Amino acid sequence: MNTLELVKGITLVVHFVGLALLVGLFIANMKTKTNFPFGWMVVGAAVQLATGVVLVGMKYALDEDVNNAKIGIKTVLVAAALIAAIIGNLRQKKGEAKLQPFFHAAGGFALLDVAIAVIWSGDIWGY
């Protein structure tokens, strides 16, 4: 194992921590009506986005195959989750009501992102 592969593995672990924050908090608080954990969801989504970009860069550096369509869709989804969490967080800090749609959007985009990561493989889609 070379150094870049080790860094890739560590980055993947951090990527999963971001996933756990984002999806775990969503599932744990699905029935919540107020005081959503938007701040931590922003952290989780930001970690996911940043480490995802790093992981794709490492795949190119290691001359591994990259499914650009899949990565593009996943990037849009995690960016949407991040934006929803940021908006929800800002509005919650201002004391606004009706924040549940932002919470569910952030969590829903994150779950869809995970589903695509797991289900979309070359064997299933014929690529």
Q: What is the pLDDT of residue 127?
A: 46
Tell me the per-residue pLDDT of 47-86, one tens digit each, with 9 for 90 and over. Answer: 999 999 999 999 898 888 899 999 999 999 999 999 999 9
- 102-122: average pLDDT: 92
**pTM (two decimals):** 0.91
Phi, psi of 49 (to 5 degrees): -65, -50
